[in-house]
């Protein structure tokens, strides 16, 4: 029994040990962590992000080519859009009403006013920059995962359209090669992630702004509800036992709180989804896609930031128009959030520009991002594990039996 437990949870235990050790060193010896451990952690993270870009490209392109041949791509993406939008709208509405009941700002708050939208060209420019890049070399950056995925999808569709078995097999081989490279790198994950986490603790462990206490408490409460109640319930409705669910989400969950990067957890999410019975092609396509477009934690935090900014700007919150602005703007901003550490800066800029807020509010929203980054990434990754199971047609057949 002990050997079976160790074999099942060895990776998670080693990761947890590295994270805890790194956090303690960063807290107790911040100078040592900054001088000695941070470089090791940065080396590990840099190598990880270099591998992630081609891994995602070949994984998505090869999976799309297979699904296109099987006439499954269109229905899968349509189902992904419907399911993800439904859940995210529900989470945004829940957060909206929670903040109305427990507003983070009470003193000095003045209701009234209207949201001032910026020129459409400014919003259009932000959308263009989020979806596309002007040069091929920019696709090789982890900061431009979403544009790279669009090109990967086009590559997969084109490969399937050429009906060249060798080309499709080549994409699959390259996908397997990059996945194997990531597996080899993850052998050093307890050390590399431990050092990285030590540096994070040394830099921000003593920073806690009392004025944001209500925001943090509210967000943590919603995190516990989604992580412990909502997502396990969704998994159970898909025919997954709670034991299997919590066993398979352990590794990506630990990765999420140590790296604060949804992209870094893509391999673990694919592995977890497949372990819970998801079709491999669906997992390899939907997990990278949901990493960019389906972000439970980011959607909740964007609602908090939108309402926080509206309160500071004196914009009324308790009306139907405000609710539509909050939910719509939060959904759009959550898509812009980069799936990399500290990748939420563009979301705050988007929120402030759409609302026409005082530019100084941007800094206040970034503080919220820093406070909720860890639980937010945890929810993002947890949702990314479940999403392929929700859109997998093969899983429908198994659940119906």
Cβ neighbours of residue 39 closer than 8 Å, sequence gap 6 or more = none
CA dist., res. 249 & res. 253, Å (int): 6
How many whole angstroms from its chain centre is CA 281?
A: 20
CA distances from 141 to 146, 170, 183, 246 (A): 10, 23, 21, 33
Determine what percent of the chain falls in helix, strand and coil, rounding each to the nearest 5: 85, 0, 15
Domains, the chain, ordered by start: 2-400 (1.10.3860.10)
For position 191, what pLDDT does the model report?
92
Q: Write out the DSSP string of 101-116.
A: HS-S--TT--------
pLDDT at 340: 44
Question: Who contacts 183 (Cβ-Cβ below 8 Å, separation ≥6)?
Answer: 267
Residue with tokens 């090789």: 140
Burial pattern 102-124, b for ≥16 Cβ within 10 A else e, equals: eebeeeeeeeeeebeeeeeeeee
What distance lies between CA 392 and its chain's CA centroid? 20
Residue 78 confidence (pLDDT): 81
- Residue-by-residue pLDDT tens, the chain, 401 positions: 456 666 655 776 787 788 788 888 988 898 998 899 989 988 988 888 888 888 888 888 887 887 666 555 666 778 888 899 999 999 999 999 999 988 876 654 443 344 444 444 455 665 677 678 888 888 887 667 778 888 888 998 899 888 888 998 999 899 889 888 988 888 888 898 889 878 877 775 544 344 567 888 999 999 999 999 999 999 998 889 999 999 999 999 988 888 778 888 998 999 999 999 888 888 888 898 888 789 999 999 999 999 988 887 777 777 888 888 899 888 888 876 554 444 445 677 677 767 777 666 776 787 677 778 889 989 999 999 999 999 886 555 555 55
């Amino acid at each position: 029994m002990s050997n079976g437990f160790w074999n099942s949870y060895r990776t998670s235990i080693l990761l947890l040990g590295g994270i805890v050790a790194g956090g303690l060193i960063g807290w107790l010896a911040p100078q040592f962590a900054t001088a000695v451990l941070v470089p090791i952690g940065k080396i590990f993270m840099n190598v990880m992000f270099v591998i992630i870009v081609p891994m995602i490209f070949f994984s998505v392109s090869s999976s799309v080519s297979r699904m296109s041949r099987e006439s499954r791509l269109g229905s899968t993406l349509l189902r992904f859009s419907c399911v993800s939008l439904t859940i995210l709208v529900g989470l945004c509405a829940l957060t909206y009403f929670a903040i109305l009941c427990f507003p983070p700002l009470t003193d000095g708050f003045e209701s009234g006013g209207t949201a001032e939208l910026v020129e459409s060209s400014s919003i259009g420019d932000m959308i263009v920059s989020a979806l596309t890049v002007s040069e091929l070399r920019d696709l090789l950056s982890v900061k431009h995962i979403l544009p790279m995925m669009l090109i990967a999808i086009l590559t997969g569709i084109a490969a399937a359209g050429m009906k060249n078995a060798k080309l499709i097999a080549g994409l699959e081989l390259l996908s397997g090669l990059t996945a194997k490279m990531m597996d080899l790198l993850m052998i050093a994950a307890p050390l590399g992630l431990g050092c990285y986490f030590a540096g994070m603790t040394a830099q921000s462990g003593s920073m806690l702004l009392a004025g944001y206490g209500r925001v943090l408490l509210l967000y943590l409460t919603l995190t516990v509800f989604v992580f412990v109640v909502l997502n396990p319930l969704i998994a159970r409705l898909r025919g997954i036992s709670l034991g299997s669910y919590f066993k398979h989400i352990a590794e990506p969950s630990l990765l999420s709180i140590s790296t604060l990067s949804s992209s870094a957890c893509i391999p673990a999410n694919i592995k977890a989804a497949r372990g819970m019975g998801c079709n491999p092609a669906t997992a390899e396509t939907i997990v990278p896609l949901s990493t960019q477009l389906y972000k439970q934690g980011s959607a909740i935090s964007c609602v908090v930031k939108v309402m926080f900014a509206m309160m500071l700007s004196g914009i009324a919150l308790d009306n139907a128009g405000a609710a539509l602005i909050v939910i719509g703007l939060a959904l759009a901003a959550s898509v812009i959030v980069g799936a990399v550490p500290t990748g939420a800066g563009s979301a705050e800029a988007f929120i402030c520009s759409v609302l026409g807020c005082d530019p100084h509010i941007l800094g206040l929203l970034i503080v919220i991002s820093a406070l909720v980054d860890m639980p937010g990434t945890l929810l993002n990754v947890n949702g990314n594990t479940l999403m392929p199971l929700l859109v997998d047609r093969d899983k429908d057949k198994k659940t119906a039996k």
